[in-house]
Amino acid sequence: MPDTMIKICGLSTPETIDAAVDAGATHVGFVHFEPSPRHLTLEDAARLRRRVPESVKLVLVSSKLQPEELARAYEVIRPDVLQFHGSETREWIALVKKTIPTMECWRSFGLRDANTLEKARAFEGVADRLLFDAPANPLPGGLPGGNGTLAQWDLLEGWEPFMPWALAGGLNPDNVAEAIRRTGAPLVDASSGLETEPGIKDAGKIRAFVGAARTA
């Protein structure tokens, strides 16, 4: 079984990017979504992007970007992956992949019940990877992800994947090994579980998370 891939998301400083890369993360994530405490402007993201080596994939996370905004973001940042974290349709993702064929596209789903897994089938053959997260915060102004809420792992135990996928939602250094053992997740994604306060990553927690994931 190949090693579990590891994404550290919501990075916003050179020091935490270096910590993720040095620890062995396979992916790092930048958030371009203004309501998020992890939001980066395109200019800041472009500066930080230069610290990410070619061996590590850069994931740009956003929600409901309009076509012109998306084109601008791609030109400025040149991400390896675009993670859709809103209500983007199969048709929209197919159009993006046709326009930028070299970029992977992931589609995030809030894992509410078994029906979520069936709905995700609509993206088979279009998205490159599904990312199962905890459901979005339903309160006014709530974020679609990065809320620190634990995903329902039991829904994925015994599930037969039909395409590449990833697990997010409340993962941290203390629970990631169990999450991998229970679900068989090929890629794990953490953000708020590695912070001292919203938007502020801790280099020690990043290293501990990667180490724990590697022991699973």
Most confident among 25-34, 59-68, 134-143 (mean pLDDT): 25-34
Using one digit for the tens of pLDDT, what is the confidence trace for 51-60?
Answer: 999 999 999 9
Q: How confident is the model at residue 201 (pLDDT cuts 50, 70, 90)?
A: very high
Q: How confident is the model at residue 1 (pLDDT cuts 50, 70, 90)?
A: low
The type of residue at 176 is V
Of 1 and 125, the structure prediction assigns the larger pLDDT to 125
For the question of whether the overall pTM of this predicted structure is more than 0.85, the answer is: yes
Average pLDDT, the chain: 92
Using one digit for the tens of pLDDT, what is the confidence trace for 131-151?
Answer: 999 986 544 444 554 556 788
Q: Domain of 77: which CATH number?
A: 3.20.20.70
Q: CA angle, 212 as apex, 206 and 215 as ends, to 5°?
A: 145
Domain count, the chain: 1
Q: How far apart are CA 124 and CA 215, in angstroms?
A: 31
Q: How far apart are CA 124 and CA 25, in angstroms?
A: 26
Chain-centre distance for alpha carbon 208: 18
Question: Residue 142's domain spans which residues?
Answer: 5-215
